[in-house]
Amino acid sequence: MPSFRALLSVSDKTGLDAFARQLVAAGGELIASGGTARQLAAAGLPVQTVETVTGFPEILGGRVKTLHPAIHGAILARRTAEDLDELAQHRIRPIDLVVVNLYPFQQTVAQPNVALSTAIEEIDIGGVALLRAAAKNYADVAVVCDPTDYPALAGALASGGVGAQLRRQLAVKAFQHTAAYDTAIAAYLVAEGTPAPAATTGELPDALHLDLALIQRNRYGENPHQAGALYGYAKEPPAFAVLHGKEMSYNNWLDLDSAWLAAQDFAAPTAAIVKHGNPCGLACAETLEEAYSKALASDPISAFGGILAVNRPLGLGTAQRLFDLFLEVVAAPAYEPEALALLQKKKNVRILHSWGVPLRPLSLRSIVGGVLVQEADRSEQDMEPAGWQVVSQRQPAAAQRADLAFAWRVARHVKSNAIVYAKNLATVGVGAGQMSRVDSVMVAGHKAGERSLGAVMASDAFFPFADGLEAAARHGITAVVQPGGSVRDEEVIAAADRLELVLCFTGVRHFRH
């Protein structure tokens, strides 16, 4: 008599025939459903169909096959005398191994223009029930949901049996698999029934289900005494590929995220250099090479050891310009072969290529006792000067208007209190993360030096007092954009007129903590 019974019902038939032969060689009796049974029989393997075991045919076009006491009783029975006697009374023999993977729901809905009815038919019911039943009874039953685990299981069987530790590991993987599967179905149905997002803030979902898989273990977190790792969304490719250099650190990933989002926020060729989460230099130009030079000129001291992200393929000219600067990371949507070859001569730089993964609409942050969730700040409603209110007597010139729009867009990528000095579509000074807004104005002015003369300034939130504008005017700022909305707006507007500044209100705040 065979030493164990195995139930096989797989959508992904990778490696199935070879694995089934190993099961038979180890003394296994095979039971299989539908197409799995047909493939095993065609391969010349001895196999019983599920209908033979249950004495009941598939019904509803295959929707119901394995949902039967002769199957689930055989899987769920504990190997106690009481349970085994009850099985015997009903002429049911235990099943010791369950090999199941599910209908390809995620792959189906990832295709364009999939009908809802098609997606519904790809929701596996019996397979999920089999996996959960076997995983629940992992003390006596082994469960496999991933073909990559076939060799480990076959090896264990050939060596005399599946140990308790391996059964537990496989059970955990099965529960993770069904959890991710259900999450994908729920997310699809929510999205299918949700209208396209409006320009204004919408409602957030009542529940969020995250399915994250380990991409990389970092040497440590922000500091050497902290563990750190990068996880990605399961079933999705990583956002970046490391083409050159050592592994990215926890801090590298954080700064890259800031740099990448900042650079991609602009339509023109743009370079963003980030240090400790804030842009120390960001510029737009007609060419990427020029944009990089302008971004570096903003704060070349802080740029040392920074992260560079660009929004255009990086060419040889840009690579030559940045070659002598020590950068931790360079990230681009593509590289010209000559540029990549040159950069790869720099041993200490990490070179990353973006796969073009779409940006997710929600931002999540862990706090004590929960997770804060918000819509990502990508609104375009206040980014164009045509929608602003010019509240000063002085009107902006065309060049000022363009620089104000640039500075305003940069400001939402700078940590609050955020102040951005800009001239000719490039930052010349950035004040970030200060507890006082006027201190941020002074930090930006210190960074800019004489370059602040004739520059413009953006503030991510309103000025509560006139002192911010007064400090900016002392640094030579000629035009200011801010949200407005302070109880002292009239005092601030009067100061702008007294100082002969342009002052624009956007009506929208852009805090970034």
What residues act catalytically?
136, 276
| Distance between CA atoms of residues 115 and 322, nearest Å | 49
Q: Tokens at residue 179, please?
A: 């959890």
Spatial CA neighbour of 245 closest among 340, 356, 354: 340
In sequence order, which residues have a C-beta less than 8 Å from that of residue 81 and are 6 or more positions away? none
Contact 90, 73 (CB under 8 A): yes
Please give the single-letter amino acid code of residue 336.
Answer: E
In sequence order, which residues have a C-beta less than 8 Å from that of residue 459 and are 6 or more positions away? 411, 417, 418, 419, 437, 440, 441, 468, 480, 481, 482, 483
Contact 412, 381 (CB under 8 A): no
Q: Is 413 helix (H, G, I), strand (E, B) or coil?
A: coil
Please give the single-letter amino acid code of residue 90.
Answer: H
479-482 β-sheet, strand order: 389-390, 502-505, 479-482, 456-459, 419-422, 427-431
Contact 473, 441 (CB under 8 A): no
In sequence order, which residues have a C-beta less than 8 Å from that of residue 334 and are 6 or more positions away? 313, 314, 353
How many of the other CB atoms lie within 10 Å of CB of 478?
Answer: 22
Strand segments, DSSP code E, in 24-172 are: 28-32, 47-49, 97-101, 142-144
